[in-house]
Amino acid sequence: MTTTRFAPSPTGRLHVGNIRTALHNWMLARKAGGTFILRIDDTDAARSKEEYVEAIRADLAWLGIEADREFRQSQRLERYEAAFEQLRAAGRIYPAYETQQELELKRKIQLGRGLPPIYDRAALELTEQERKAKESEGIEPHWRFKLDHDEPITWEDGVRGPNAFDPKLLSDPVIRRADGSWLYMLPSTVDDIDMGVTQVLRGEDHVSNTAVQIQMFTAMGAAPPDFAHEALLVGKEGKLSKRLGSLGCDAFRERGIEPEAIVALLARLGTSLPVEPIVDREALLETFDLSTFGRAPAKFDDAELDRINTAIVHAMPFDAVRHRLPEGMDAAGWHAVQPNVATVGEVEDWWRLVTGPIAQVEFSDEDRAYLGEAAQALEWGDDPWHALTAALKDSTGRKGKALYLPLRQALTGMNHGPDMGELLPLIGEDEARARLASAAK
């Protein structure tokens, strides 16, 4: 049974990068008929905010990425405590007393000597007495997980293929601060065990965390889940961009982007599959496969999102959009206006051409006479626009722009817009005649 999780820290809103991670975890679970967990990583009480927890839920709901279960790390502190005691008893956790400044200095010295800045395990050398002395000076320890240096850490990564880390090249990670609060590393592993997570899919920035966590799983007597790390999302110029880090659902909504467009793009961005305006989730799920994921950074391009969005809007059935349309706009109205909009929000402007009032255009004397004739010639049948233009073509000899443009301007106040054949029946006979007559004055 496949279980995946998305584990945001509620220290800010979701951005396009973590939306992508959420989506892919959701897809992995759905495709396998498994469970998708939302885990709120809120052990950092100072930076976590309830409003962000709510915003994360709301954004996921808007995107249609529904969690089957939800957990919060802040409600599981006892479990972390128990794991901590277990690992400590097993000699895998040790206290350390260095200050930030001391650690910084050590790093500088190592780097200055051309050495990797790995924690030197000085705290492991302390005698019981030296520890006592530190503590009697009022220095509370923070806690490190002791990596097993004996064997390389290896795993078969769902995206990156075989991975190997030499544990000697990793620092023993700090897992708990001096004030007792938790860093990410241990709680996440405890949760993945307790919640039966079978697949951890996350960004490439977590690769070295995975190496550490694999040892934690083993130290707690659990088999590590399958890991996969996707290449990071970059701006279209190929760089990690600050903008992407803050680009989230609000900005998309404001721009008139449909959640389906975001999903269609992010489902396939960075894979070997073509990005297409696919609204049907089942169809997206069918082709979803980690083996299609590339290792090169995935390029997020706003123009591509806009294109996908427009294509989705152009294919949107009336029933899917009716509750978002201006009052009185029916299926025929949507059909008339749909090809002219890139977003559903733009419908409003075009619909005003039907409901009025419309802008008044200045016409030449000649055109006014022509429009007067049009007001007379207007006959209401199945297809009033084509009947009218055919009649005027015969009676006036006008053609092309001279035939059509003054009519469009008189009827809509615009030089361009939706197909007049569809628009005129929506404007209605009396109103159309009145507009033509008023333009002729």
Nearer to ligand GLU, 188 or 389 (CB): 188
Separation of alpha carbons 426 and 245, rounded Å? 45
CB of 20 to ligand GLU, least distance (A): 12
Nearer to ligand GLU, 191 or 367 (CB): 191
* b/e code 116-143 from CB counts within 10 Å (16+ = b): eeebbeebeebeeeebeebeeeeeebbb
199-203 and 226-230 beta bridge pairing:
parallel
CB of 290 to ligand GLU, least distance (A): 15
CB of 187 to ligand GLU, least distance (A): 9
Kindly give, in sequence order, each residue whose CB lies less than 8 Å from that of residue 387, ignoring residues fewer than 6 positions away: 379, 381
Residue 317: Cβ-neighbour burial (10 angstroms; 0-12, 13-18, 19+): exposed
Separation of alpha carbons 37 and 26, rounded Å? 8
CB of 16 to ligand GLU, least distance (A): 14
- Listed in order, strand segments (DSSP E) in 167-285 are 174-176, 199-203, 226-230, 233-235
Nearer to ligand GLU, 49 or 324 (CB): 49
CB of 358 to ligand GLU, least distance (A): 52
Nearer to ligand GLU, 47 or 168 (CB): 47
DSSP letters for 301-338: -HHHHHHHHHHHHHT--HHHHGGGSPTT--HHHHHHHG
Nearer to ligand GLU, 199 or 338 (CB): 199
Nearer to ligand GLU, 192 or 260 (CB): 192
Nearer to ligand GLU, 55 or 411 (CB): 55
Residue at shortest CB range from ligand GLU: 41
Nearer to ligand GLU, 8 or 418 (CB): 8
CB of 31 to ligand GLU, least distance (A): 19
Kindly give, in sequence order, each residue whose CB lies less than 8 Å from that of residue 4, ignoring residues fewer than 6 positions away: 25, 26, 28, 29, 34, 35, 36, 37, 197, 198, 199, 200, 201
CB of 206 to ligand GLU, least distance (A): 6
How far, in whole angstroms, is CA 375 from its chain's centroid?
Answer: 52
Separation of alpha carbons 410 and 438, rounded Å? 8
CB of 5 to ligand GLU, least distance (A): 7
* Contact criterion met (CB below 8 Å) for 403 and 385: no
Q: Is the dihedral of CA 365, 366, 371, 374 positive or negative?
A: positive
CB of 296 to ligand GLU, least distance (A): 21
Instruction: Give the alpha-carbon dihedral of 56, 60, 63, 69, to 10 degrees.
Output: 180
Nearer to ligand GLU, 44 or 349 (CB): 44
Interacting residues toward ligand GLU by CB under 6 A: 7-9, 41, 184, 188, 202, 206
